[in-house]
């Protein structure tokens, strides 16, 4: 479906027009937080001490202040002051309950790794003596101890973004401290969001400023950082395809040793049936069966630990010698190249470690740390030691060591538990993939797709049909191709896992240097230690490139290409909109009638500009015989924070002089926020905020007049309730769309603390101009709302390079035609939509 195309059968109007550039064609500046748009009031700069008042030394150094005070920034400070965002500390019992729940969501993947680790390791190294077993066991022990425990539990989990984890969380964290986002729509008002501010744990260093300035100055570094994040995201999506395949096949393969005639073909068929069923039920959501996950995985981990202890005591308890890391050296000395190749199987013991960080938003740092340290880590150690002890007596069973080491009386129970655990591990990775794609969409790095919310209570539970069916088809293909064994899938799986870990290591190092401002030696030790280990593992899994290792690279390349093309095209489109925005001089020349007839009604125009009047508005003026009496420019903007509190979501201001009746609304969302506004509720909210704005505007004008009469020249521009106004025609709204009792209470307390005002200011008589504005608004409301949307076509200029023409005119155009339409994406009623064609030359 083409972008912004209205569904067939709707009564909307499609109008095709030529590109309108207005008076801003020649301007090449980007609208960032240092540029003051021509529509901004002519305020002067406050004193430097006043401008920086209330900010700590860290904020003064690391965050550049704007050159002028903007009305949206002032309003944002008011809202942030009234609504502090303070996360609540969980009680001990709540933390323990969360730790129990993490077993079913976070650790399912890592918990099923004993199904296939040793079978893959010893497919590359033959067991000739106990030295081979002890060396492999020592490798597994210290891999788990170093990567999940030392790296993730004690370091990476602390690099969270207000409780959110994952690759995009690290990227958004970096974007807040340095302007590295490729889309230049950041405003100082964004920094007033309560979840935007961060606590810096160490004194500031000049090094952090130098890194920040270097990242902001060189566009090549911005592109490199974006590619790194997109690569990590692509590998996570690849994990979502490979995890169900390897987990389900490993669990089902246990039937081969218990049922005669159950051959490889039967394993493939049963695995495909389970996978199809698993992906088919995604549309119903996981909330109804979610409560079963944690108990099932808890029982699975208990069985792993118990069977491991049983085998350890029964067969050979001396395998605990593997805690001596010297056996790793002996293992490599004896097997050399074979030992290095076996690292590809060893790394599978930490599959799912990235989920500890990626799923952090659903739990807490302390809960994940407790669950891993006291349940997952010891149970996995016992499981691997038990299998090693069994192999000392039965070395020929290395291919099916997990099921062979299970006592006969417990086989079917363990098989059922293994199948359930594999399914849960797959479910967790599928859900993580949905969340990852949604975050990428929010930050402008993925085409818009249909998102279905499967739970009314838990907004984070989503379902993306296109991604779901694509993953199902890919899983079935993977299982069908690698039907002989899981070794080739394991090779592919290893590359995806290690690749994501390397991306995380790089981004966390950047966070250490830029945000934490850690001691340089300690900051460099992190990538030197963990990065070196991961590079060694990566070299081992890359050696299996032709034996299945190519698969995740194909997936990653495909998704990386899609995401980068979409981001590249979106940035060029935004730059074109900024260059071609309509100048205020042109609007003043048109006059309050806008050069046409103004009819009663409210027109809502969706656009991406945070400042200025979009050129598409000129297209509507040219194409329509009349325009509505009230115009609202709505900009839906995603901020690099996980969640924007509801009361801080909307900013409102006036555009052009008062008699133009034109306003701007900026709706701000975090990358974890879910947009489910009903257009009726939005319209009601918009009308209420407009009325509040008009009343507040009249009060402020009276207040301003009274203050000047009292000759109160010492009133600061940054004062909370009383600010000097320059141009009556450029009055601004300081009341957020979501205005609740807390903000009213805050305003009341401030009014009580304010000095006495003259009676002329406190007069309760209704201002005639206010009464007129309110009557105009009511008349517009009675006439209804109309939504203006642009059917944008992006084309490369004729003088562009061939590659740019290929990317923009074909690949990006194809993605725009087949992504979710604008009317559906913005939840606007089709019956009230007007569309006009627009061609952007980039």
Q: How confident is the model at residue 292 (pLDDT cuts 50, 70, 90)?
A: low
**Half-sphere exposure at residue 770, Cβ-oriented, CA atoms within 13 angstroms:** 17
C-alpha 213/C-alpha 805 separation (Å) is 33
Kindly state the average pLDDT of the residues 797-821.
Answer: 85
496 and 364 fall within a common domain: yes
CB 834 within 8 A of CB 13: yes
Return the closest-CA partner of residue 72 out of 696, 650, 631.
Answer: 650
Nearest to 507 by CA among 520, 526, 521, 522: 526
What average pLDDT does range 376-394 have in this prediction? 93
In this prediction, residue 721 carries a pLDDT of 41
C-alpha 800/C-alpha 223 separation (Å) is: 20
What three-state secondary structure class fits 784? coil
Model confidence at 326: pLDDT above 90: yes
What pLDDT score was predicted for residue 380? 94
Label the pairing between strands 597-607 and 626-638.
parallel
Q: Residue 639 pLDDT > 80, yes or no?
A: no
More confident residue, 82 or 785: 785
Strand partners for 164: 161
Contact in structure between 789 and 619 (CB atoms under 8 Å):
no
**Assigned domain for 56 exists:** no
Tokens 């129970």 belong to which residue? Answer: 413
Q: Is residue 44 part of a domain?
A: no
Boundary residue ending a domain (510, 541, 571): 571
| Residue 608 near residue 580 (C-beta atoms within 8 A) | no
Say whether 651 sits in a helix, a strand or coil.
Answer: strand
Question: Distance between CA 646 and CA 665 in Å, rounded?
Answer: 15
State residue 23's pLDDT score.
35
Q: Which domain holds residue 601?
A: 591-704+767-841
Asked if 402 contacts 121 with a C-beta cutoff of 8 angstroms, the reply is no
Q: What does the pLDDT read at residue 329?
A: 92
Q: Which of 677, 630, 658 is nearest to 783 (CA)?
A: 630
Backbone angles phi, psi at 147, to 5 degrees: -80, -65
Structure tokens at 351: 């599959």
**Residue at 111 is within a domain:** yes
Same domain, 270 and 301: yes
**Which residue, 430, 419, 142, is CA-closest to 280?**
430
DSSP per residue, 451-514 = -EE--SS-TT-EE-HHHHHHHHHHHHHHHHHT-S-SHHHHHHHHHHHHHHHHHHHHHHHHHIII
Alpha helices in 638-766 (DSSP H): 679-709, 741-753
**516-571: pLDDT as tens digits:** 877 788 888 999 999 999 999 988 888 877 777 788 888 889 999 999 999 888 88
Does the pLDDT value for residue 105 go beyond 70?
yes
Q: How far is CA 114 from CA 267, 418, 421, 422, 522, in A?
A: 19, 10, 12, 11, 34
Please state the separation of Cα 546 from the chain's center in Å: 33
Domain identity same for 526 and 617: no
Round to whole Å and give the CA distance between 206 and 223. 24
Q: What are phi and psi of 451, to 5 degrees?
A: -115, 130
Percent of the chain scored above 70 by pLDDT?
Answer: 74
Q: Pick the range with the lowest mean pLDDT from 355-359, 484-488, 582-586, 710-714.
A: 710-714
Higher pLDDT, 290 or 359: 359
Give, in degrees to the nearest 5, the angle at Cα 423 between 420 and 427.
Answer: 135
The most confident of the ranges 90-99, 628-637, 685-694 is 628-637
Pair (810, 663) in one structural domain: yes
Give the distance from CA 764 to its chain's centroid.
48
Instruction: Supply the pLDDT for residue 207.
Output: 67
SS3 36: coil
pLDDT, tens only, 297-314: 899 999 999 999 999 999
Query: Is 538 in the same domain as 622?
Result: no
Mark which of 571, 603, 633 sits at the end of a domain.
571
Asked if residue 407 and residue 533 are part of one domain, the reply reads yes
The larger pLDDT score, comparing residue 507 to residue 719, is at 507
* Cα torsion angle, 435, 436, 438, 443, sign: positive
Cα gap 815→670, rounded to integer Å: 24
Is the pLDDT reported for residue 379 higher than 90? yes
If asked whether residues 565 and 651 sit together in one domain, one would say no
Give tens-digit pLDDT for 137-151.
999 999 999 999 999
Q: Residue 90 half-sphere exposure, CB side, CA atoms within 13 Å?
A: 14
Check residue 381 and give its pLDDT. Answer: 94
User: What pLDDT, in 10s, does the model give residues 166-191?
Assistant: 787 788 778 777 776 655 555 555 55
> Which residues lie closer than 8 Å to 199 by C-beta, 6 or more apart?
none
806 pLDDT exceeds 70? yes
Residue 114 scores a pLDDT above 60: yes
- Read off the pLDDT of each residue in 608-635 and give the average, rounded to a whole number: 85
Same domain, 653 and 537: no
Are residues 384 and 516 located together in one domain of the fold? yes
Instruction: Give a yes or no: residue 835 inside a domain.
Output: yes
Mean pLDDT of 146-161: 88
Contact 6, 821 (CB under 8 A): yes
For the cut 70, the answer to whether the pLDDT of residue 494 exceeds it is yes
Which is higher by pLDDT, 2 or 605? 605
Close Cβ partners of 727 (under 8 Å, ≥ 6 residues apart): 41, 42, 657
Per-residue model confidence (pLDDT) at position 678: 65
Indicate the Cα dihedral angle 121, 311, 484, 481, nearest 10°.
-80
Please name which of 48, 139, 453, 454 lies closest in space to residue 287, comparing C-alpha atoms. 454
pLDDT per position as a tens digit, 19-44: 333 333 333 333 333 333 433 333 33
Q: Is the dihedral of CA 100, 105, 109, 110 positive or negative?
A: negative
**What's the confidence (pLDDT) of residue 142?**
94
Answer whether residue 670 shows pLDDT above 90: no
Round to whole Å and give the CA distance between 103 and 109.
10
| Pairwise CA distance, residues 739 & 688, whole Å | 10
Residue 62, domain member (yes or no): no
What span, in angstroms and rounded, lies between the C-alpha atoms of 238 and 236? 5
Q: Considering only 282-286, 316-320, 370-374, which range has the smallest mean pLDDT?
A: 282-286
Q: Is 334 left (phi over 0), alpha (psi -120 to 50) or beta?
A: alpha
Burial class (CB in 10 A: 0-12, 13-18, 19+), 299: middle
Kindly state whether residue 59 falls inside one of the protein's structural domains.
no
Per the prediction, the chain carries an average pLDDT of: 74
**Number of structural domains in the chain:** 2
Return the residue matching tokens 């748009």. Answer: 37
Q: What b/e readout covers 640-656, taking b as 16+ CB neighbours within 10 angstroms?
A: bbbbbbebbbbbbbbbb
Reported confidence tier of residue 609, pLDDT bands at 50, 70, 90? confident
The residue with greater pLDDT, 720 or 197, is 197
pLDDT tens, position by position, 40-58: 333 333 344 444 344 344 3
**Where among 510, 539, 571 does a domain terminate?**
571
Residue that wins the pLDDT comparison between 646 and 600: 600
Whether residue 620 has pLDDT greater than 80: yes
Q: What is the pLDDT of residue 266?
A: 86
Residues 515 and 606 in one domain: no
**pLDDT given at position 715:** 44
Q: Is the pLDDT of residue 714 over 60?
A: no
CB neighbour class for 756 (10 Å; exposed up to 12, middle 13-18, buried from 19): exposed
User: Contact 430/109 with Cβ under 8 angstroms?
Assistant: no
What pLDDT score does 728 carry?
36
- Give SS3 for 788: strand
Helix, strand, coil in percent for the chain, rounding step 5: 60, 10, 30
Looking at the structure, tell me whether residues 552 and 604 fall in a common domain: no
Which CATH number do you get for residue 472?
1.20.1740.10
> Could you read off the pLDDT of 430-481 as tens digits, one per residue?
877 887 888 788 778 888 888 877 766 555 567 888 999 999 999 898 888 8
Distance CA 740, CA 685 (A): 12
- The count of other CB atoms within 10 Å of the CB of residue 559 is 21
Distances from the Cα of 583 to the Cα of 285, 346, 577, 636, angstroms: 49, 62, 12, 22
User: Is 70 exceeded by the pLDDT of residue 595?
Assistant: yes
Answer whether residue 729 is part of any domain: no
What is the Cα–Cα distance from 253 to 422, expressed in whole angstroms?
Answer: 12
- Is residue 502 a part of any domain in this protein? yes
Confidence of residue 709 (pLDDT cuts 50, 70, 90): low
**What phi-psi label fits residue 645: left (phi over 0), alpha (psi between -120 and 50 degrees) or beta?**
beta
Upper half-sphere CA count for residue 390 (Cβ side, 13 Å): 25
336 and 438 inside one domain: yes
Q: What percent of the chain has pLDDT over 90?
A: 12
Element (H, E) at 636: strand 626-638
């Amino acid at each position: 479906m083409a972008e912004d195309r209205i569904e067939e059968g709707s009564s909307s109007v499609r109008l095709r027009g030529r590109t309108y550039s207005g008076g801003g064609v020649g301007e090449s500046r980007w609208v960032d937080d240092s540029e003051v748009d021509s529509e901004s009031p002519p305020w002067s700069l406050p004193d430097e001490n006043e401008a920086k008042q209330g900010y700590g030394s860290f904020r003064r150094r690391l965050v550049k202040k704007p050159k002028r005070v903007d009305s949206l920034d002032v309003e944002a400070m008011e809202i942030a002051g009234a609504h502090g965002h303070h996360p609540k500390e969980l009680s001990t019992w709540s933390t323990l309950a969360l730790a129990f729940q993490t077993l079913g969501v976070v650790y399912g993947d890592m918990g099923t790794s004993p199904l296939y680790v040793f079978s893959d390791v010893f497919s590359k190294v033959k067991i000739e003596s106990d030295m081979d077993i002890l060396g492999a066991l020592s490798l597994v022990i210290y891999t788990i101890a170093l990567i999940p425990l030392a790296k993730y539990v004690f370091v990476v989990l602390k690099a969270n973004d207000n409780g959110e984890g994952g690759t995009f969380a690290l990227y958004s964290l970096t974007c807040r401290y340095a302007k590295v986002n490729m889309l230049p729509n950041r405003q100082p008002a964004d920094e007033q969001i309560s979840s935007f501010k961060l606590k810096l744990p160490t004194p500031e260093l000049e090094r952090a400023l130098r890194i920040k300035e270097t990242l902001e100055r060189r566009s090549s570094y911005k592109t490199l950082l974006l590619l790194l994040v997109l690569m990590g995201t692509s590998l996570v999506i690849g994990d979502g395809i490979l995890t169900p395949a390897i987990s389900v096949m490993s669990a089902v393969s246990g039937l081969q040793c218990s049922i005669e005639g159950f051959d490889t073909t039967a394993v493939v068929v049963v695995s495909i049936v389970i996978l199809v069923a698993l992906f088919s039920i995604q549309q119903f959501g996981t909330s109804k069966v979610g409560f079963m996950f944690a108990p099932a995985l808890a029982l699975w981990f208990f069985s792993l630990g118990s069977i491991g202890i049983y085998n350890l005591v029964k067969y050979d308890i001396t395998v605990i010698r593997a805690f001596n890391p010297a056996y790793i050296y002996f293992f490599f000395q004896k097997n050399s190249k074979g030992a290095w190749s076996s690292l590809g199987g060893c790394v599978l013991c930490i599959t799912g470690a990235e989920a500890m960080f990626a799923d952090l938003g659903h739990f807490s740092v302390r809960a994940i740390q407790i669950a891993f340290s006291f349940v997952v880590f010891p149970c996995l150690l016992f499981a691997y030691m038990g299998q090693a002890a069994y192999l000392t007596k039965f070395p020929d069973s290395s291919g099916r060591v997990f099921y062979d080491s299970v006592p006969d009386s417990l086989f079917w129970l363990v098989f059922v538990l293994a199948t359930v655990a594999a399914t849960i591990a797959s479910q967790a990775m599928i859900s993580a993939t949905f969340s990852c794609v949604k975050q990428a969409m929010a930050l402008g790095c993925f085409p818009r797709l249909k998102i279905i919310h499967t739970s009314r209570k838990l907004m984070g539970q989503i379902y993306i049909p296109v991604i779901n069916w694509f993953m199902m088809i890919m899983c079935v293909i993977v299982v069908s191709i690698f039907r002989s064994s899981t070794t080739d899938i394991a090779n592919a799986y290893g590359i995806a896992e290690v690749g994501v870990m390397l991306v995380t290591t790089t981004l966390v190092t950047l966070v250490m240097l830029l945000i934490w401002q850690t001691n340089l030696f300690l900051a460099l030790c992190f990538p030197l230690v963990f990065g070196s280990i991961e590079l060694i593992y990566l070299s081992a899994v890359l050696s299996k490139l032709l034996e299945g290792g190519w698969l995740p690279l194909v997936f990653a390349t495909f998704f990386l290409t899609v995401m980068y093309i979409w981001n590249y095209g979106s940035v060029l489109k935004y730059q074109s909109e900024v260059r071609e925005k309509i100048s205020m001089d042109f609007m003043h020349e048109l006059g309050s009638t806008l050069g046409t007839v103004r009819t009663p009604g409210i027109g809502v125009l969706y656009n991406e500009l945070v400042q200025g009047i979009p050129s598409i508005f000129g297209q509507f003026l040219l194409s329509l015989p009349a325009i509505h009496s009230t115009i609202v420019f709505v900009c839906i903007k995603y901020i690099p924070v996980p969640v924007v509190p509801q009361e801080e979501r909307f900013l409102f201001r006036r555009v052009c002089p008062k008699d133009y009746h034109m306003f701007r609304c900026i709706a701000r969302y975090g990358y974890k926020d879910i947009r489910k506004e009903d257009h009726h509720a939005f319209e009601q909210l918009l009308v209420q905020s407009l009325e509040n704005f008009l009343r507040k505007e009249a009060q402020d004008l009276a207040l301003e007049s009274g203050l000047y009469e009292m000759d109160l020249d010492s009133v600061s521009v940054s004062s909370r309730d009383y600010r000097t106004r320059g141009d009556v025609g450029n009055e601004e709204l300081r009341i957020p769309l979501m205005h609740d009792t807390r903000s009213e209470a805050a305003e009341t307390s401030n009014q009580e603390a304010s000095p006495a005002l003259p009676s002329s200011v406190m007069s309760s008589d209704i201002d005639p101009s206010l009464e007129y504005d309110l009557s105009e608004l009511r008349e517009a409301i009675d006439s209804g709302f109309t939504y203006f949307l642009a059917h944008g076509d992006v084309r490369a200029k004729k003088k562009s390079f061939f590659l740019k023409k290929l990317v923009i005119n074909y690949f990006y155009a194809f993605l725009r035609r087949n992504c979710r339409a604008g009317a559906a994406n913005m939840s606007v009623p089709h019956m009230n939509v007007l569309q006009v064609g627009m061609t952007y030359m980039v």
